[in-house]
Amino acid sequence: MLLAGGVGSRLNILVRLRAKPAVPFGGQYRIIDFTLSNIANSGLTRVAVLTQYKPLSMMDHIGDGSSWDMSGRTRSIKILPPKTGEKDWDWYRGTADAVRQNLDFITSAGNCTDVLVLSGDHVYAMNYRPLVEFHRSHGAKVTIGMIQVPRRETHNFGIGIVDNAHRIIDWEEKPKKARSNFASMGIYVFDRDYLVTMLRRTKEEDFGHHIIPKAMEEKNVYAYSFKGYWKDAGTIQAYWDANMDLLDPKSDLNPEAWGTKTNVVAEGPPSDRQPIRIHDEAEVSDSAVSPGCVIKGRVCHSVLSPGVIVEKGAFISDSIIMHDAVIKSGTSVSRCIIDKRVAIGRNCSIGTGNPENANTEFPEQLNSGITLIGKGAKIPDSTKMGTNCIVYPMVEKADFHDLSVKDGSTLEKP
């Protein structure tokens, strides 16, 4: 059961028009590609994707699952939206409630004994078979995939206190001051009968807040330790960091070596992009550049999705540029996340200023100097835009009343 319906509001305008798992990542991928590829590479064949918030682009991306070799007589991916219209509580109220509303999919799955519950918004590579084998060998009713995280990040996770037998003896959900740094990866293996019984006799909404503490009162709950690369790209800073990890050979983030797959056809015609074109006058260093890009300017330490155009005299550094964006001549872009089909005019300076000036509307989300430009926005020539700024999707040149945009500003359509 792949949970892919969260709002992901901490990603701000990147999820204004799409679900969090559908956010592009690392050039040609989407975040959900990592979990889907893990499923396929682990040899799992019966998958349900639970959608909810703005699911259209993600549903188009998944399609029939054939991009992950999950389409056929014995393999399938089924997309299960909320059963809206029956009751006023049809929308999923949490992770456990989402699975509860789809128990019929679980109970109709023949003679299976276990249910793997996954999140679609993490960047990692994992073979789930050793996890399931660990779960079975310990006779567990619930096993949680867990990883050690920096102490400063423990307030973002469910934290387990584990004994020498790998049994979780205490649980803290997003604690202000954690007693451990052993964090839940949002990966659960349940004994199917126990999961069905638990969800039918309770109305609890969330696995981390409700189901896991209740299961610990009744049964042995185990922790499966994971040692590889794993990142919850759920904040602007974490998303930017994970993309930058792609450029760091010491980070262990390597989608190609992991066998990560994606659906290139869903991006629309032409689905087969032209080769990368780097002109004689261009300079490209320490960057990930995707098919269809045309580079005549300079690109340094950046991630470019398919179809990005960098005109002569333009300079991009420390940035993430998504599909078919255009950076025109004479423009500099620094420490920015630029969504699909953005056009930045000539002789602009974007992302230069004092990174300590947090965004005035979202100071907790944008406070490290990253500037966001939303899908389809058009930036007029000669614009000077500072750090920690937000430009909402589809903003047009006429919406700019001043070509000097101060640090921490937010610009949206009237």
What is the CATH T-level fold of the domain 273-411, as seen in this structure? UDP N-Acetylglucosamine Acyltransferase; domain 1 (2.160.10)
User: How far apart, in Å, do the first and last CA atoms of the chain sit?
Assistant: 40
**Which one, of 12, 13, 31, lies nearest residue 22 by Cα?**
31
Is-contact 192 105, C-beta < 8 A?
A: no
Sequence-separated (6 or more) residues with CB below 8 Å from residue 276 = 289, 290, 291, 292, 293, 295
Torsion angle (degrees, nearest 10) of CA 352, 358, 359, 365: 110
**What is the average pLDDT across 292-316?**
97
Output DSSP code: residue 331.
-
Residue-wise pLDDT tens digits, 250-265: 999 999 999 999 998 7
Is-contact 264 271, C-beta < 8 A?
A: yes
Sequence-separated (6 or more) residues with CB below 8 Å from residue 336 = 319, 320, 321, 350, 351, 370, 371, 372, 373
Query: Torsions phi, psi of 363, nearest 5?
Result: -65, -25
What distances in angstroms separate CA 269 from CA 64, 262, 273, 326, 343, one per listed residue?
18, 16, 9, 18, 20
**What is the average pLDDT across 310-324?**
98
The reported pLDDT for the residue numbered 272 is: 76
The rounded mean pLDDT for the chain is 92
Confidence of residue 269 (pLDDT cuts 50, 70, 90): low
**What is the average pLDDT across 348-366?**
96
* In the predicted structure, residue 410 carries a pLDDT above the cut 50: yes
| CATH superfamily membership of 2-245 | Spore Coat Polysaccharide Biosynthesis Protein SpsA; Chain A (3.90.550.10)
Query: Torsions phi, psi of 99, nearest 5?
Result: -70, -40
Sequence-separated (6 or more) residues with CB below 8 Å from residue 221 = 140, 141, 142, 143, 144, 167, 168, 212, 215
Q: What distance in Å separates the CA atoms of residue 305 and residue 294, rounded to the nearest whole number?
A: 11
This prediction's pTM: 0.94
| Lowest-pLDDT choice from 33-42, 60-69, 317-326 | 60-69
Which segment, 66-75, 263-272, 401-410, is predicted with the most confidence on average? 401-410
| CATH 2.160.10.10 residue spans of the chain | 273-411
| Lowest-pLDDT choice from 87-91, 211-215, 258-262 | 87-91
Which segment, 230-239, 260-269, 324-333, is predicted with the most confidence on average? 324-333
Q: What distance in Å separates the CA atoms of residue 316 and residue 98, rounded to the nearest whole number?
A: 42
Q: Could you tell me which residue, 309 or 100, shows the higher pLDDT?
A: 309
Residue-wise pLDDT tens digits, 122-153: 999 999 999 999 999 999 999 999 999 999 98
Confidence of residue 57 (pLDDT cuts 50, 70, 90): confident
Determine the Cα angle at 392 with ends 242 and 270, to 5°.
70
Residue-wise pLDDT tens digits, 375-395: 999 999 999 999 999 999 999
Confidence of residue 85 (pLDDT cuts 50, 70, 90): very low
Q: What is the DSSP string of 119-174?
A: ESSEEE---HHHHHHHHHHTT-SEEEEEEE--GGGGGGSEEEEE-TTSBEEEEEES
Beta bridge partners of 231: 123
Is-contact 362 390, C-beta < 8 A?
A: yes
**Which one, of 109, 104, 99, 126, lies nearest residue 37 by Cα?**
126
The reported pLDDT for the residue numbered 84 is: 54
343-344 β-sheet, strand order = 277-278, 294-295, 309-310, 326-327, 343-344, 378-379
Percent of the chain with pLDDT over 90: 76
Q: State the SS3 of 236-301.
A: HHHHHHHHHHCCCCCCCCCHHHHCCCCCCHHHCCCCCCCCCEECCCCEEECCEECCCCEECCEEEC
* In the predicted structure, residue 9 carries a pLDDT above the cut 90: no
Output DSSP code: residue 61.
H
* In the predicted structure, residue 86 carries a pLDDT above the cut 60: no
For 174-241, list the strands marked E by DSSP: 182-191, 221-225, 230-232
Confidence of residue 266 (pLDDT cuts 50, 70, 90): low
Q: What distance in Å separates the CA atoms of residue 320 and residue 372, rounded to the nearest whole number?
A: 10
Which residue is associated with the tokens 């934290």?
Answer: 159
